Structures are given as structure tokens and as C-alpha cells.
Amino acid sequence: MDTSNHNQMATLFAQLGLASDSADITKFLQQHRLTDNQRIEQADYWTPAQAAFLQEAIAQDSDWAELVDHLDAMLRH
């Protein structure tokens, strides 16, 4: 059973296999964007495994869904 803290963006980044400290998250958000009509899992900067994880999190309304939605919003601003 996954008991990690899903309420922190750092945890989501770690789950995605990305550097997860505050500076790395900020840098990622500065370097990556989503277009208006683009779904988060369609971005070309995800690996196939990362894209699948993001898609499943949303489709299954998993524990990760809220953080994925938050990341989606952050990638649009």
C-alpha cells in the first residue's frame, strides 16, 4: 500500500521520477508549459510512463488526481 503524502507537490514530482526539491520544481515549472487545449498527459516532455501515470490518476480519480490537477494549473500560468 502506498502511504506517501499525496498532499505535497514534491511527492508528486518524486512519484514521476523528477527532481523534487523546491528549486527543481520551480525550474521545471519555468521551463515547461501546456497550451490552452492540451491535456497534461499529452505534453511532449513526459516519458510514456509519466504520461500514463498522469492519465490514470485523472481517469481513476486516484489519490493523486488533486495534485495532478494542481500541476496542470501551474503549467498553464
Tens digits of residue pLDDT in 14-73: 999 999 999 999 999 999 999 999 999 999 999 999 999 999 999 999 999 999 999 999
Domain boundaries, the chain: 9-74
The cell numbers describing 7, all together, are 498532499
Assessment of whether the complete model's pTM goes beyond 0.85: yes
Using the Cα atoms of residue 65, residue 43, residue 72 and residue 17 in order, give the sign of their dihedral.
Answer: positive
- CA–CA dist 12, 32 (Å, integer): 16
Level-2 CATH architecture, domain 9-74: Orthogonal Bundle (1.10)
